[in-house]
Structure 1
């Protein structure tokens, strides 16, 4: 059993180490600090620690869900992995290529293999372009194929996402929110990517439409052998589509585990509180809701020690002084909480 703490911390991301799993994305000790300017001369007077030392792997063909409150850093993390914004520190390795410090020209060569589905299906689509032009645009940027081949692929993609080839002549405003998100999915698929990040892709949709889009994404993952990073604030949505789940709080990962393990036996007090707030469909079952006091601290002035200790019902003196690192609890389940480790880093209560 591997223990990761301040004394034994390594650059190896905590995740499954099974030999039959092939890494597609490696995130190693990544940080993103945004400068805070102040004074007449607009000097840097502090930093917003949006992402603060995060490590994990994503394996080919799997879906890693990332959940957390607004301000937890999950969207910033997704944009860093695609190099839409540059990391302050750390490494991002995609398909065995280190893209964390690569020039935009080199990143562009990998861009066709990495795509994003955005939260707002209307704001992410140019209203002046037809649906066909929107889907065709990434092909023009990344591939050298004929006009006829592009048109053919546009029709195939629209039919794949359930809209039909005739939709290519219409404009985004002529479609509903769910249909526009299908257009966004078709656009993301146009370059035949290996990896797609969904940045809360269903949060702006009606509940009835959410399940349709999630089912479509699951179907496309099998059909095109896709790998997903699925960002959301709703644990019930993440449960529907993910293989593993990472819970973020104030720019750090509080817990990461296979879906079944996380929902059946959550370890971190923050994860327990999030799961307790998920509505229980079976009215005969009663689940005690855990109410967290106060608000999330500002990422520009995070608390010392454990970032969650200001709201944690189980916090003690060690939590205020020492920041916990992710600890291997067995069965690919990792948690950053002093409740499970001694001061020398040994595990108190392994799962098995």
Structure 2
């Protein structure tokens, strides 16, 4: 891949806002609305990755669903390889999904427990209309081996694997269409620390080998630093700061980012995550109040 190609935008998120209507308070009154995302903008160059960090309720997963064209934004556009995903017909969107896939947070609930691994992993190819079972099986065997499993695992069911192995299966499923972008929504948060590191190393290796871009959604700045060249900090539906993980970890400017950095585990300091998340939110609210 040339330097010019690596800098070209693979993904363009342009002024995305999202609000939802709440039940009416009065029969003839207007329906109240809740703002979930507020004017989110960023690009992801081909071959590079961006991490989205923020606490629960900051809008990260809503943004992921919009980027995956699972939800329609109230405002804004998402363009992948120059194509407006939300302007496509259903048939066009189905074909375009070969270029972008998703890995979910819970590696067990995202895998159908009634299906064997072969059917689960080849599901994206079935959805794209592929009917050659031998071709699909051969590709599944190759990709399973690439993520550290074996061809014999194709005959097994999800309950026969550990949490880390199930997440590897989910990653294998995402790789079946040779995508350019993988949206990973909290893909390691349900795993223990040792398995988290193994899965992150696997994603880093796949990125280097295949040139895949990741949109990596997490509440863990350290995990994003491991995988991504760019990081966006979200708080209450807004993008409050953006930069390289190195810069944001060492020189955070926004009060919320500063609190997130202070919340990172320090050797010999047993800090409670919930308390520090509250501190981060309080710091951001205090800054907003002081500048209002």
Q: Deviating runs (4+, > 3 A) in structure 1? A: 39-44, 290-297
2:77 to 91, 114, 124: 91
Correspondence for 1:101 = 87
Structure 1 CA distance for aligned equivalents of residues 158 and 29 of structure 2: 43
1:134-191 deviations in Å (ceiling 9; x for gaps)? 0111111115352111110111111011011100000001111000000000000111
* 1:226 aligns to 2:226 (yes or no): no
| Contact kept? 1:200, 1:230, Cα under 8 Å | yes
Correspondence for 2:193 = 207
Correspondence for 2:184 = 198
- SS where residue 48 of structure 1 aligns? strand
1:62-97 deviations in Å (ceiling 9; x for gaps)? 110000010000111011011011111101111011
TM-score, normalising length: structure 2: 0.90
- SS where residue 86 of structure 2 aligns? coil
1:311 to 273, 286, 290: 286
Q: Indicate the larger mover: 84-93 or 140-149.
A: 140-149
* 1:181 aligns to 2:167 (yes or no): yes
Structure 1 CA distance for aligned equivalents of residues 251 and 107 of structure 2: 35
Structure 1 CA distance for aligned equivalents of residues 138 and 195 of structure 2: 28
Cα 1:196/1:105, change in 2 over 3 Å: same
Structure 1 CA distance for aligned equivalents of residues 178 and 93 of structure 2: 17
Q: How many residues are aligned here?
A: 284
Structure 2 CA distance for aligned equivalents of residues 292 and 140 of structure 1: 42
Q: Map of 1:110-189 to 2, 5 A cutoff?
A: 110-144=96-130, 146-189=132-175
Structure 1 CA distance for aligned equivalents of residues 76 and 122 of structure 2: 34
- SS where residue 187 of structure 2 aligns? coil
Larger Rg: 1
Which structure 2 residue ranges, 5 or more long, are not aligned?
Answer: 270-274
- Report the Cα offset of residue 105 of structure 1: 2.5
Q: Indicate the larger mover: 183-192 or 145-154.
A: 145-154
Q: Map of 1:1-40 to 2, 5 A cutoff?
A: 21-39=7-25
Cα 1:234/1:104, change in 2 over 3 Å: same
Structure 1 CA distance for aligned equivalents of residues 54 and 217 of structure 2: 9
- Report the Cα offset of residue 33 of structure 1: 0.8
1:76 to 40, 62, 75: 62
* 1:257 aligns to 2:243 (yes or no): yes
| Contact kept? 1:37, 1:44, Cα under 8 Å | no
What is the root-mean-square deviation in Å for CA atoms of aligned residues? 2.4
- SS where residue 100 of structure 1 aligns? helix
| Contact kept? 1:64, 1:242, Cα under 8 Å | yes
- Report the Cα offset of residue 120 of structure 1: 0.4
Structure 2 CA distance for aligned equivalents of residues 131 and 146 of structure 1: 17
1:235-265 deviations in Å (ceiling 9; x for gaps)? 1211111111100001110001012211121
Structure 1 CA distance for aligned equivalents of residues 28 and 186 of structure 2: 34
Correspondence for 1:274 = 260
Structure 1 CA distance for aligned equivalents of residues 154 and 5 of structure 2: 44
